[in-house]
């Protein structure tokens, strides 16, 4: 299929490929710029003015339980048509039982019984529709009101459908990191978002590591300092210490606690510790100096925002090193210890 890259500036076919450099380029920065430009040109070359041909790629169907801990099915290249209901693709991969409203009761032989339920993400994000409320709810916590089901959510070739079976929880996740490089590679609903890397410090090694991780997947990205500019049409990865990121309206939601924010990482306001929660949203483990985390958020109706953060510069470096498909695989979020160990979040009982 053909996916549009970017809604702002040049319209639906515009490829946003600007790299912001505000200081003289050092040799290492020149090499990085050359690699980034090469990736942009590669994407443009195959895409033709921002269009990426995914014909024949199919859809990945990932079915897990207990916050991704157990894989029940992981099938790639499942046949799909553009803008096809997710349930039709799931039915090509496995046995599906769902009611008329789209509530799934059984997938891949696993049943939603005893207070357990299935949760759906497409490319790491819930699919929501409708209109934001004009008044009433806290504006920062607002989400589009309708959570689409397997009958109403639409997928296209290249997408990943992730269904997880777990206990019903007061925490409704705003996004998950376990299908990286999604959502930055394919976006959602046939729309590939422009990508921005927002850095707490322009020359920080951690920021270069995140940019390089995107380059490896052929994902072009604009780079700028945190909160130095604003584009509501871009998916973002914010990289920095918690003190540098906490004022971001999307990333900063995590301080409100998991039940309110839908984010299972709860940083302390002073940035000196990171709380890891269980499936119910209770902080059950705390990380201190030299530690980091990666989590997904989403503000109102804007594209997803991710945080690669830490209690200090060393923690941010460790988190940036974890921005890898293999490391993040099937995790909702991750905490990174001072020894580099990676903990899946929510924390298992």
Domains of the chain: 1-53+170-349 (no CATH), 59-167 (2.170.130)
Measure the CA–CA gap between 273 and 221, rounded to whole angstroms: 30
Among 281, 285, 198, 290, residue whose Cα is nearest residue 235: 198
232 burial (CB, 10 Å; 0-12 / 13-18 / 19+) is exposed
**Residue pLDDT, tens place only, 64-77:** 999 999 999 999 99
Mean pLDDT is lowest, of 7-11, 166-170, 189-193, 243-247, for: 7-11
**Residue 41's Cα: distance from chain center in Å?**
24
| Largest interatomic CA distance in the chain | 61
The conformation of residue 347, written as its DSSP 8-state character, comes to P
pTM here is 0.85
- Reduced to 3 states (helix: H, G, I; strand: E, B; else coil), residue 53 is strand
Pairing of strands 195-199, 222-225: parallel
For residue range 264-317, list pLDDT tens digits in order: 999 999 999 999 999 999 999 999 999 999 999 999 999 999 999 999 999 999
Query: Which pLDDT does position 229 carry in this prediction?
Result: 84
Rounded alpha-carbon distances, angstroms, from residue 237 to 147, 297, 326: 24, 10, 18
Tens digit of each residue's pLDDT (9 = 90 or more) over 224-255: 999 888 889 999 999 999 999 999 999 999 99
Confidence tier at 134 by pLDDT (50, 70, 90): confident
Q: What confidence tens digit (pLDDT) does each residue in 80-108 have?
A: 999 999 999 999 999 999 999 999 999 99
d(CA 81, CA 88): 10
Torsion of CA 221, 317, 314, 319, to 10 degrees: 100
Predicted local confidence at residue 248, as pLDDT: 95
**Three-class SS state of 75:** strand
33 to 16, 23, 30, 72, 349: CA distances (angstroms): 15, 13, 5, 41, 45
Q: At what angle do helices 205-216 and 27-47 cross, to 10 degrees?
A: 30
pLDDT at residue 55 tops 70? no
Higher per-residue pLDDT: 213 or 6: 213
Q: Which residues contact 30 (CB under 8 A, 6 or more apart)?
A: none
């Amino acid at each position: 299929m053909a996916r549009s890259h970017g809604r702002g500036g040049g319209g639906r076919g515009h490829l946003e490929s600007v790299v912001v450099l505000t200081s003289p380029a050092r040799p290492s920065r020149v090499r990085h710029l050359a690699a980034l430009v090469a990736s942009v040109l590669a994407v443009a070359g195959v895409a033709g003015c921002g269009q990426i041909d995914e014909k024949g790629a199919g859809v990945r169907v990932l079915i897990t339980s207990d916050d991704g801990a157990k894989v029940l099915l992981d099938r790639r290249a499942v046949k799909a048509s553009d803008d096809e209901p997710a349930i039709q693709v799931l039915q090509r991969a496995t046995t599906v039982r769902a009611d008329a409203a789209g509530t799934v009761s059984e997938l891949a032989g696993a049943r939603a019984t005893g207070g357990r339920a299935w949760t759906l993400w497409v490319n790491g994000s819930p699919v929501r529709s409708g209109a934001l409320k004009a008044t009433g709810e806290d504006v920062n916590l607002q989400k589009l009101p309708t959570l689409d089901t397997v009958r109403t959510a639409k997928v296209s070739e290249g997408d990943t459908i992730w269904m997880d079976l777990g206990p019903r929880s007061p925490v409704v996740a705003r996004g998950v990191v376990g299908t990286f490089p999604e959502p930055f590679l394919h976006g959602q609903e046939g729309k590939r978002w422009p990508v921005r890397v927002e850095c707490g410090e322009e020359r920080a090694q951690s920021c270069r590591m995140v940019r390089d991780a995107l380059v490896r997947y052929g994902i072009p990205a604009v780079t700028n300092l945190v909160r130095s500019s604003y584009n509501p049409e871009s998916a973002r990865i914010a990289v920095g210490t918690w003190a540098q990121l906490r004022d971001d309206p999307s990333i900063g939601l995590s301080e409100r606690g998991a039940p309110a924010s839908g984010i299972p990482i709860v940083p302390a306001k002073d940035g000196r510790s990171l709380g890891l929660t269980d499936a119910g949203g209770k902080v059950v483990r705390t990380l201190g100096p030299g530690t980091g985390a990666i989590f997904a958020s989403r503000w109102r109706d804007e594209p997803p925002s991710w945080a690669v953060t830490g209690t200090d510069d060393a923690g941010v470096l460790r988190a940036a090193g974890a921005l890898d498909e293999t490391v993040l695989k099937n995790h909702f979020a991750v905490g990174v210890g001072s020894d580099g160990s990676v903990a899946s979040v929510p924390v298992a009982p």
